[in-house]
């Protein structure tokens, strides 16, 4: 399953999001050289799942590209802004195969650039002229930052439950996927029932996406992912694979040792990765992710049967098949 | 000139901004204990000039408190959010006489709390239901972060001009004052001419306010200000007094030494403060600030002559008289 195939229906319009990024990078009247250098470093399009969700969710009723484009752009800008702050907090050096803002310019400038990107995302959301969508945007930033704050307060704590994990990834990932889909539906004047189906789709797809992300942090190939493997354990973040590992081996456990600052760090992580791969945990995680994909598809039979519906269904297959 | 006297007209309504803060701190359904502790540490009302501007600017036409209250709250929340990030960047320990968020919880949590406060401020602005005001809010955050970024890129650079200084304080302070006043006018359905008069008022008042802030960083009394004196020089930030000092003594200069990491830091700062106090620079800065107050009052005769107009005029006297 290739993303390119799934995006076929919106391919041209999706390119316009990259076009919006170029406008921001080249906006000489409202920026200055150092800011433009930072923007051209960070405003590259990755999987652009979030803008794709907005556009595809907007394809069921009144496809209004003039409103959908700024919102699709806002979804990706909001995502990138949170990544800039995340990387600053985690002191990450690499993202999408490129050095991070904090790596090149330092944490201080990363904080301010993130704020700038929040502002541009907010302006883009406001450019839809739709107050419901603007409110949704602000609420989503609230939810994301609460999720990040919770994650930060629970770092290096190995006493966590599956529910707490779910709550955290709901906040930091699923809420933004839900916003992307819901806003697309709202802006295309979808009836409320369809808005709710697409919102739920986005939310559950986001959960599945994040679970796979967390699995790939154990079993992914560094070169493909563009960031180092095992980084969650280094940051002290418990994810689904490490939760299961703690449950499977409650007494002696490399995750526990790592969180209690015992043993050799690199060895702990290598051991944790080996255990996750050889214990059936990966399969279990995939089954849970697939379950969330099933939930994502709930109610889809009540949406107009068109090629956008097909694309969104295929996307639920892609998120669990992807290798990066 | 007491702030209390100036605020008399809006005293009760202004208290409601504090009430909104209390609601945020006590919102158990949407927060968690650590977040509430952080909020109660930071959501204290200081001079609340920005909310006062929104309310006073809203008193000329259709005073709509239901819309003005969320916007007044948004102005102060946006201000506090930027302070949280500023303090994290500057590694400041004290603000308004209390330990900063980064001092108590560390820089990582300060970054995320700032993001959370931006979100709450955005939600508050959106609660006005007025798209023009929402756009203005997002544009202001853009302007502020660009101002901060410029300041950060020019830190420890003693080759700066008065124009560059003005541009920076326009971005980081005056833009928010302008937003506070403009939004009050817009929400009370002021005619466009009055909106522009009040916006210009806010902008110029903000410039005067920041110039005095920068002077107080040299000549203020630490106990009154609730933050240490000389902190701009420590951060490598050129302000109007140090700009004038560089002009007056272009060869040997404690500011230059400090920025080039020469000599004893504490001695450089003490010497710079002494020179500023004894060279007439303080008076010159006050004259420039007073000039901006005059500009702030321009066109006021075309506003309805009421007690709000009187209060705003008195506020231009207060900002240059204040000792903290």
Tens of pLDDT along A227-251?
Answer: 777 888 888 888 999 999 999 988 8
Q: Count H helices, E strands: chain A?
A: 18, 2
B129 conformational bin, left if phi > 0, alpha if psi -120 to 50, beta if neither: left
3-state helix, strand, coil in chain B (%, to 5): 75, 0, 25
Chain B residues closer than 8 Å to A113 by CB: 145, 149
Please say whether the beta carbons of B102 and B40 come within 8 A: no
The candidate with the shortest Cα–Cα distance to B152, out of A34, A104, A278, is A34
Average confidence (pLDDT) over A16-45: 95
Least Cα separation, residue B263 to chain A (angstroms): 26
Please say whether the beta carbons of A70 and A78 come within 8 A: no
Across chain A, where does the E strand assignment appear?
94-95, 98-99
How many CB atoms neighbour CB B301 within 10 A?
Answer: 9
pLDDT number for residue B2 = 86
pLDDT number for residue A165 = 93
pLDDT number for residue B114 = 98
Least Cα separation, residue A128 to chain B (angstroms): 10
Judge whether A277 is closer than 8 Å to chain B, CB to CB.
no
| Radius of gyration in angstroms for the set of CA atoms belonging to chain A, rounded to a whole number | 20
Please say whether the beta carbons of B178 and B202 come within 8 A: yes
Judge whether A122 is closer than 8 Å to chain B, CB to CB.
yes
Host domain of residue B151: 3-321
A:B CB pairs within 8 Å: 126
With H, G, I as helix, E, B as strand and everything else as coil, classify residue A19.
helix
Average confidence (pLDDT) over B44-70: 95
pLDDT number for residue B245 = 92
- CB contact (8 A) between residue A138 and residue B122: yes
Judge whether A134 is closer than 8 Å to chain B, CB to CB.
yes
Check residue A173 and report its DSSP letter: I
Counting every residue, how long is chain A?
324
Task: For residue A21, name the pLDDT band (cuts at 50, 70, 90).
Answer: very high
How many CA atoms are closer than 13 Å to the CA of A298, on its beta-carbon side?
Answer: 15
Q: Which residue(s) pair with B64 in the sheet?
A: none
Residue of A nearest to B127 (CA): A135
Distance between CA A313 and CA A1 in Å, rounded? 12
Least Cα separation, residue A25 to chain B (angstroms): 14
Answer yes or no: is pLDDT of B222 > 90: no
- CB contact (8 A) between residue B149 and residue A34: yes
pLDDT number for residue B220 = 81
Average confidence (pLDDT) over A104-111: 97
Average confidence (pLDDT) over B230-242: 88
- CB contact (8 A) between residue B135 and residue A118: no
> A202-225: per-residue pLDDT in tens?
999 999 999 999 999 998 877 777
Least Cα separation, residue B313 to chain A (angstroms): 32
Task: For residue B310, name the pLDDT band (cuts at 50, 70, 90).
Answer: very high
With H, G, I as helix, E, B as strand and everything else as coil, classify residue B40.
helix
Distance between CA A51 and CA A42 in Å, rounded? 16
Judge whether A35 is closer than 8 Å to chain B, CB to CB.
yes
Judge whether A115 is closer than 8 Å to chain B, CB to CB.
yes
pLDDT number for residue B277 = 87
- CB contact (8 A) between residue B134 and residue A145: no
The candidate with the shortest Cα–Cα distance to B125, out of B61, B209, B182, is B182
Q: Which of A70, A81, A104, A118 to mutate to test the interface with B (most CBs of B within 10 A)?
A: A118
Higher-confidence position of A219 and B72: B72
Cα four-point dihedral sign B312, B21, A114, B214: positive
Burial of B37 (0-12, 13-18, 19+ CB in 10 A): middle
Distance between CA A78 and CA A90 in Å, rounded? 18
Burial of B55 (0-12, 13-18, 19+ CB in 10 A): buried
- CB contact (8 A) between residue A142 and residue B119: yes
Distance between CA A30 and CA B185 in Å, rounded? 26
Burial of A282 (0-12, 13-18, 19+ CB in 10 A): middle
Structure tokens at A216: 């790939």
Most confident range (mean pLDDT) of A91-95, A133-137, B156-160 is A133-137
- CB contact (8 A) between residue B111 and residue A85: yes
The 3 state secondary structure assigned to B166-214 is HHHHHHHHHHHHHHHHHHHHHHCCCCHHHHHHHHHHHHHHHHHHHHHHH
Of A88, A113, A135, the CB nearest to B149: A113
Chain A residues closer than 8 Å to B156 by CB: none
Could you give the number of structural domains in chain B? 1
Average confidence (pLDDT) over A169-181: 96
Average confidence (pLDDT) over A295-321: 96
Least Cα separation, residue A142 to chain B (angstroms): 5
The candidate with the shortest Cα–Cα distance to B254, out of B238, B270, B237, B231, is B270
Q: Which of B35, B118, B129 to mutate to test the interface with A (most CBs of A within 10 A)?
A: B118
Distance between CA A32 and CA B52 in Å, rounded? 33
- CB contact (8 A) between residue B113 and residue A149: yes
How many CB atoms neighbour CB B132 within 10 A?
Answer: 14
Residue of B nearest to A152 (CA): B109
Q: Which of A108, A113, A114, A183 to mutate to test the interface with B (most CBs of B within 10 A)?
A: A108
Q: Which of A86, A115, A157, A236 to mutate to test the interface with B (most CBs of B within 10 A)?
A: A115
Average confidence (pLDDT) over B46-71: 96
Q: Which of B104, B119, B135, B164 to mutate to test the interface with A (most CBs of A within 10 A)?
A: B119
pLDDT number for residue B253 = 85
The candidate with the shortest Cα–Cα distance to B324, out of B237, B181, B228, is B228
pLDDT number for residue A260 = 84
The candidate with the shortest Cα–Cα distance to A80, out of A127, A40, A135, A134, is A40
With H, G, I as helix, E, B as strand and everything else as coil, classify residue B80.
helix
Please say whether the beta carbons of A277 and A218 come within 8 A: yes
> A82-103: per-residue pLDDT in tens?
999 999 999 999 988 899 999 9
Q: Write the ipTM.
A: 0.93
Judge whether A89 is closer than 8 Å to chain B, CB to CB.
yes
Answer yes or no: is pLDDT of B324 > 80: no
Bridge pairing between strands B94-95 and B98-99: antiparallel
Distance between CA B55 and CA B69 in Å, rounded? 8
Burial of B315 (0-12, 13-18, 19+ CB in 10 A): buried
Task: For residue A262, name the pLDDT band (cuts at 50, 70, 90).
Answer: confident
Of A107, A129, A146, the CB nearest to B116: A146
Judge whether B104 is closer than 8 Å to chain A, CB to CB.
no
CATH number of the domain enclosing A80: 1.10.600.10
Q: Which long-range contacts (CB under 8 A, 24 or more apart) does A86-91 make?
A: A86/A148, A88/A114, A88/B111, A89/A148, A89/A152, A89/B108, A89/B111, A89/B112, A90/A231, A90/A235
Judge whether B27 is closer than 8 Å to chain A, CB to CB.
no
- CB contact (8 A) between residue A148 and residue B88: no
pLDDT number for residue A141 = 97
With H, G, I as helix, E, B as strand and everything else as coil, classify residue B287.
helix
What are the DSSP calls for A40-72, one per residue? HHH---SS-HHHHHHHHHTTSS---HHHHHHHH
What are the DSSP calls for B97-131, one per residue? TEE-HHHHH-HHHHHHHHHHHHHHHHHHHHTT--H
Least Cα separation, residue A81 to chain B (angstroms): 10
pLDDT number for residue B85 = 97
**% residues pLDDT > 70 (chain A):** 100
Distance between CA A141 and CA A143 in Å, rounded? 5
Judge whether A31 is closer than 8 Å to chain B, CB to CB.
yes
Q: How far is CA B307 from CA A32, B4, B66, B319, in A?
A: 43, 14, 21, 19
Average confidence (pLDDT) over B300-307: 96
Cα B2-B7-B13 angle, rounded to 5 deg: 150
In the block, tokens 């303090």 appear at: B87
Least Cα separation, residue A271 to chain B (angstroms): 29
Answer yes or no: is pLDDT of B262 > 80: yes
Least Cα separation, residue B1 to chain A (angstroms): 36
Judge whether A29 is closer than 8 Å to chain B, CB to CB.
no
pLDDT number for residue A55 = 98
Cα A141-B136-B169 angle, rounded to 5 deg: 100
Distance between CA A251 and CA A235 in Å, rounded? 22
**% residues pLDDT > 90 (chain B):** 75
- CB contact (8 A) between residue A31 and residue B146: yes
- CB contact (8 A) between residue B152 and residue A119: no
Structure tokens at B267: 């001695």
Least Cα separation, residue B33 to chain A (angstroms): 10
Judge whether A172 is closer than 8 Å to chain B, CB to CB.
no
């Amino acid at each position: 399953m290739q993303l390119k195939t799934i995006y076929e229906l919106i391919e041209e319009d999706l390119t316009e999001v990259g076009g919006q990024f170029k406008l921001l990078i080249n906006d000489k009247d409202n920026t200055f050289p150092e800011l433009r250098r930072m923007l051209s470093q960070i405003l590259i399009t990755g999987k652009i799942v979030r803008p794709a969700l907005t556009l595809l969710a907007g394809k069921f009723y009144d496809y209004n590209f003039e409103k959908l484009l700024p919102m699709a752009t806002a979804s990706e800008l909001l995502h990138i802004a949170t990544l800039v702050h995340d990387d600053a907090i985690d002191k990450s050096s690499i993202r999408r195969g490129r050095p991070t803002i904090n790596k090149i310019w330092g944490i201080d400038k990363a904080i301010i650039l993130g704020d700038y990107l929040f502002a541009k995302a907010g302006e883009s959301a406001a450019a839809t002229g739709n107050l419901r969508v603007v409110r949704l945007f602000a609420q989503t930033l609230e939810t994301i930052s609460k999720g990040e704050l919770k994650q930060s307060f629970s770092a290096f704590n190995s006493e966590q439950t599956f529910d707490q994990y779910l709550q955290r990834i709901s906040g930091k990932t699923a809420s933004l996927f839900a916003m992307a889909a819901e806003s697309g539906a709202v802006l295309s004047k979808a009836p409320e029932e369809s808005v709710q189906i697409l919102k739920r789709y986005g939310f559950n797809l986001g959960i599945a996406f994040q679970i796979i992300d967390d699995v790939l942090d154990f079993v992914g190939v560094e070169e493909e992912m563009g960031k180092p493997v095992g980084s969650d354990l280094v940051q002290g973040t418990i994810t689904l694979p490490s939760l299961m590992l703690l449950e499977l081996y409650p007494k002696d456990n490399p995750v526990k040792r790592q969180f209690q600052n015992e043993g050799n760090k690199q060895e702990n992580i290598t051991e944790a990765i080996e255990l996750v791969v050889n214990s059936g945990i990966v399969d279990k995680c995939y089954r849970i992710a697939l379950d969330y994909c099933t939930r994502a598809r709930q109610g889809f039979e009540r949406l107009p049967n068109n090629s956008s519906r097909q694309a969104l269904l295929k996307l639920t297959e892609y998120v669990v098949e992807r290798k990066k």
